[in-house]
């Protein structure tokens, strides 16, 4: 098993990583909300995970965990101080979103992106932090302690890390890695997202 950073030229690995994230999030409440009217849920979720990987590969880093040529885990990060906008979405393929995930799905995806940007600024202010936009492990490999291995390249950094958990059941798992739960600013028109931060000083204490 090895860690590998996806490169912009590796189209095959990009496709495998997109598929892995799609499988990892197949039962995710946020994706079910975004794609509630999709006629082909798995195709739609693959389209979105591919977009996210493209944006993170351009404005951040995508770390993968590989075993026997299978991508079993993916962590898609945005670099500190980086935020995504409409132009990033368009250059990553969102111009096709209404056709791939429907008009409602495209609208909800953009709503979430705007919300994520707002919440990060609210919680972090001007503090630079790596943003863990997506992290997922294939269902058959979950429960084996692989998350720490997948996130290891960033857990070693002396910079602050930030994420938003789309499932409260995962919060204790992130807490074991040094993340702390922040105040949730929930909105009635959006699914619950739990913000969490791992301050840089945590690295020096461990």
Q: Write out pLDDT tens, residues 9-45.
A: 577 889 999 999 999 999 999 999 999 988 899 999 9
Identify the residue whose tokens are 């798995």.
Answer: 42
pLDDT band with cut points at 50, 70 and 90 for residue 85: low
Alpha-carbon distances, residue 32 vs 29, 36, 96, 105, 163 (angstroms) = 5, 5, 19, 10, 19
Q: Residue 204 has what pLDDT?
A: 46
pLDDT tops 70 at residue 99: no
Task: Report the candidate in 79, 74, 55, 72 with the shortest Cα–Cα distance to residue 64.
Answer: 74
Torsion of CA 130, 171, 105, 186, to 10 degrees: -90
pTM of the model: 0.88
pLDDT tops 60 at residue 199: yes
- Taken in order 68, 70, 72, 74, the sign of the CA dihedral is positive
Q: Residue 100 has what pLDDT?
A: 74
Q: Which domain holds residue 27?
A: 2-205
Q: What is the pLDDT of the chain when averaged over all its residues?
A: 87
CATH code: domain of residue 141: 3.40.630.30
Count: domains in the chain: 1
Cβ(198)–Cβ(177) below 8 Å: yes
Task: Report the candidate in 13, 89, 97 with the shortest Cα–Cα distance to residue 47.
Answer: 97
Task: Measure the CA–CA gap between 171 and 180, rounded to whole angstroms.
Answer: 9
Residues 6+ apart with CB under 8 A from 192: 29, 166, 168, 184, 186
Task: Report the candidate in 42, 36, 43, 28 with the shortest Cα–Cα distance to residue 134.
Answer: 28
């Amino acid at each position: 098993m090895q860690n590998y950073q996806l490169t912009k030229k590796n189209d095959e690995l990009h496709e495998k990583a997109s598929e892995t994230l799609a499988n990892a999030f197949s039962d995710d409440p946020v994706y079910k909300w975004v794609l509630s009217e999709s006629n082909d849920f798995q195709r739609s979720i693959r389209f979105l995970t591919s977009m996210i990987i493209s944006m993170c590969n351009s404005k951040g880093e995508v770390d993968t965990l590989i075993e026997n040529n299978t991508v079993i885990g993916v962590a898609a990060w945005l670099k500190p101080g980086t935020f995504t906008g409409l132009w990033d979405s368009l250059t990553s393929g969102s111009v096709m979103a209404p056709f791939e995930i429907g008009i409602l799905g495209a609208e909800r995806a953009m709503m979430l992106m705007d919300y994520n940007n707002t919440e990060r600024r609210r919680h972090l202010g001007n503090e630079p932090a790596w943003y863990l936009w997506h992290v997922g492990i294939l269902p058959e490999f979950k429960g084996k302690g692989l998350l720490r291995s997948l996130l290891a390249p960033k857990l070693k950094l002396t910079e602050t890390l930030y994420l938003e958990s789309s499932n409260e059941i995962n919060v204790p798992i992130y807490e074991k890695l040094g993340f702390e739960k922040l105040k949730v600013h929930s909105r009635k028109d959006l699914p619950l997202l739990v913000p969490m931060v791992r301050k840089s000083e945590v690295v020096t204490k461990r």
